[in-house]
């Protein structure tokens, strides 16, 4: 299968997944308790009781009196044109509500991915080439512990150590009142939430994949031949150890990076990070369903894109990997 055909197939399957997610969201929100019209009116009135007549009028104004299928088709037709509707609470376009939050979530996920990649490469390479059985067992024990630790526990431990005890990093948000926003400020505030995301349960899997992949290539015939020819250490490591040895890691990295966006929901709340996850949770509490639906769809889109990028990078790393027309967007060796 050619690269163009592969990308077309993956784009089609991703579109089907996004449509399924949107239907799933609409169905679940229809079953959710509460009344968005009542919530909007009570929020506008400061919590004072509102009449049933006003609630019914608000439901008609919000289109909630229409059948679910009609509401979904109307929303989908607008979404195709780039119109995700308006927030129930503020009346602003959903795209404007989510605009800044998406950027901060991408920043958090990008820094977390960088931490994961650098950390997994360093620890995995050390575990693969070391001759110390004790060091290798220590690394495996730490990775096993991280693999079984929920992300919010890791976040709370990092907060306790680096913010409460050592007081070297801020506990959350993007800055204190009156503090200027610059690269140093953002870096200091993103460090802890990014570390909490990066060193979650996926990190142990990354390290084991790097360790296993590189360990297989260390004694491979092509590596022994290059070593016998006197190839320089850096060239040997980069071309004969890392490039083929990292294919399993890079493939899994796409899945793990997509998982970061889902894990960011809890982490953003713990660290008061103004991203997509925190906004989605606040929208769910306020029954602001247009914002919540858009946030879920954007998260799903990021997951699908990360998976695709991981597969394409794996294909680029190892020329033995080819795209198979028999599969569903999975790379195979032959």
Instruction: Report if residue 9 sits inside a domain.
Output: yes
Distance of CA 9 to the CA centre of its chain: 23
Strand ranges, E, within the chain: 321-323, 331-333
* Residue 262 and residue 113 share a domain: yes
Confirm whether 100 is domain-assigned. no
Task: Determine contact, residues 126/139, Cβ cutoff 8 Å.
Answer: yes
Residue 126 and residue 45 in one domain: no
**Domain annotation covers residue 87:** no
Q: Which of 45, 80, 115 is the last residue of a domain?
A: 80
- The label of the residue with tokens 């606040």 reads 282
Domain assignment of residue 319, yes or no: yes
pLDDT of 267-287, one tens digit each? 888 898 988 888 888 888 888
pLDDT band at 161 (very low <50, low <70, confident <90, very high): very high
* Same domain membership, residue 112 and residue 42: no
Flag whether pLDDT at 322 surpasses 70: no
pLDDT of residue 320: 55
Computed over every residue of the chain, the mean pLDDT equals 82
Q: What was the pLDDT predicted at 326?
A: 39
pTM, two decimals, is 0.79
Both 47 and 178 in one domain: the answer is no
288 occurs within a structural domain: yes
pLDDT tens digits, residue range 234-257? 676 666 667 667 777 877 877 777
CATH number at residue 112: 1.10.3720.10
Residues 174, 184 contacting (CB under 8 angstroms): no
Is 129 a member of any domain? yes
Three-class SS state of 93: strand
pLDDT tens string 73-115: 999 999 988 888 888 888 889 988 888 888 899 899 899 999 9
Q: By residue range, what is the domain housing residue 271?
A: 105-333
């Amino acid at each position: 299968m050619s690269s163009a055909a592969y990308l077309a197939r993956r784009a089609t399957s991703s579109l089907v997944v996004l449509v399924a997610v949107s239907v799933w969201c609409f169905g679940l929100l229809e079953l959710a308790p509460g009344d968005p019209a009542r919530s909007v009116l009570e929020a506008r009135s400061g919590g004072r009781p509102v009449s049933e007549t006003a609630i019914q009028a608000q439901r008609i104004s919000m289109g909630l009196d229409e059948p679910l299928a009609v509401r979904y088709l109307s929303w989908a037709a607008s979404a195709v044109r780039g119109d995700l509707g308006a927030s129930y609470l503020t009346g602003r376009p959903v795209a404007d509500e989510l605009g800044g939050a998406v950027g901060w979530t991408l920043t958090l996920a990008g820094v977390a991915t960088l931490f994961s990649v650098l950390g997994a490469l360093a620890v995995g390479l050390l575990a693969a080439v070391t001759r110390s059985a004790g060091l290798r067992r220590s690394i495996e024990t730490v990775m096993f512990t991280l693999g079984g630790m929920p992300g919010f526990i890791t976040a709370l431990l990092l907060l306790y150590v680096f913010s409460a005890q050592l007081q070297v990093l801020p506990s959350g948000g993007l800055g204190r009142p009156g503090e200027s926003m610059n690269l140093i400020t953002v870096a200091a505030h993103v460090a802890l939430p990014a570390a909490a995301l990066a060193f979650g349960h996926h990190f142990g899997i990354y390290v084991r994949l790097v360790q296993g992949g590189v360990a297989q290539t260390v004694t491979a015939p092509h590596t022994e031949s290059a070593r016998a020819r006197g190839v320089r250490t850096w060239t040997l490591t980069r071309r004969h150890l890392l490039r083929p040895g990292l294919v399993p890691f890079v493939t899994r990295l796409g899945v793990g990076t997509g998982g970061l966006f889902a894990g960011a929901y809890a982490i953003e709340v713990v660290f008061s990070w103004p991203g997509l996850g925190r906004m989605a949770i606040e929208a769910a509490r306020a029954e602001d369903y247009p914002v919540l639906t858009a946030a879920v769809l954007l998260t799903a889109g990021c997951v699908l894109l990360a998976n695709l990028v991981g597969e394409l990078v794996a294909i680029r790393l190892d020329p033995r990997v080819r795209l198979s027309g028999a599969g569903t967007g999975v790379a195979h060796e032959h």
